[in-house]
Amino acid sequence: MALLTPQDLEGLTKQLECNNNTIKKATGMDIADICKQIYGTTLDGEKVGIVPITSGNGIITNFSSSLLTITEYFGLDGAVTEHPDVTGYYEAVSSDADIILMADDHIFIAHNMKNGKIATNHVCTGVVYAEIASRYKYADSKDILVIGLGRVGYAGAQHLVKRDFDVYAYDPDRETMEKARKELGIIPYDPEEEHKFSMVLEATPNPNTISEGMVAERCLVSTPGIPCGLPEDIGERNEIDLVMEPLMIGVASMLYAVM
């Protein structure tokens, strides 16, 4: 499980504004519209309790404050609890929070105390980044490439198959590829084939996972993967729209998912 670093979270609001502009240009919708489309829900100033968790690698200095920024960006009433862990959870529930946000090193959840709905960051991130890629206005077909079929990528591929896209995928882990081919019906991407895509979802923890042969002249690369999988030179040469940021889009998806 690749963990965020405080550096990843610097200038978060700026990163979100920049990505929202790219998303609007590339899809005609902003992040809130896209989340509303995915879940059929809206946000209405809900109270959000953010509970720091000290387990495992411990508290990431600006993680909770980043969540507070995100909840406020989407018009919700967020608050970070004074204490972490069980004491913090008790504080949030006693303060009548509608939604609890908290993460250990493995799972990051949004839990709606009023309707019981619960959502994880990795599934919500996969789904929202997949949805963004799939709404590219200049797509040349329903072909979409998914690079990385881990917890995030697999959820994204599943969402795209459900939405009737022709989902090609690549992951070096053979078992994962076999599972995705059998369970999702994805088409294994063959690098030998000269098949260039106008929509790419990348969800790997490695750089340079996107090669020249994968991207069409005009392409939307939607990637939650950290670090960026798109090599600098390809990004400059082709007309590529890049949607990439470390946390906010996935959290927006979690909030809409539990309404």
Ligand X SMILES: NC(=O)C1=CN([C@@H]2O[C@H](COP(=O)(O)OP(=O)(O)OC[C@H]3O[C@@H](n4cnc5c(N)ncnc54)[C@H](O)[C@@H]3O)[C@@H](O)[C@H]2O)C=CC1
> What are the residues binding ligand X (CB under 6 A)?
2, 121-122, 125, 147-153, 170-173, 176, 203-206, 209, 224-226, 246-247, 250
If 0-12 CB within 10 Å is exposed, 13-18 middle and 19+ buried, where does residue 221 land? buried
Cβ at position 28, least distance to Mg ion in Å = 20
Nearest to 242 by CA among 210, 204, 195, 213: 210
What 8-state DSSP symbol labels residue 213? G
Q: Which two tokens stand for residue 102?
A: 């908290």
- Tell which one of 28, 59, 86, 94 touches ligand 1J1 (CB under 6 A): 59
Q: Is 249 in the site for Mg ion (CB under 5 A)?
A: yes
Q: What is the CA radius of gyration of the chain?
A: 18
Rank residues 18 and 113 by Cβ distance to ligand X and give the closer one.
18
Cβ at position 122, least distance to ligand X in Å = 5
Could you tell which of ligand X, Mg ion, ligand 1J1, none binds residue 201, using a CB distance below 5 to 8 A set by kind? none
Single-letter code of the amino acid located at 21: N
Q: Is 127 in the site for ligand 1J1 (CB under 6 A)?
A: no
SS3 label, residue 187: strand
Q: Is 129 in the site for ligand 1J1 (CB under 6 A)?
A: no
Rank residues 91 and 155 by Cβ distance to ligand X and give the closer one.
155
Is residue 129 within 8 A of residue 156, CB to CB? The reply is: yes
- Tell which one of 70, 92, 100, 103 touches ligand 1J1 (CB under 6 A): 103
Cis peptide before 227 (omega within 30 of 0): yes
CA 33 and chain centroid, separation: 15
Q: Tell me which residues touch ligand 1J1 (CB under 6 A).
A: 3-4, 52-53, 59-60, 63-64, 103-105, 108, 121, 247
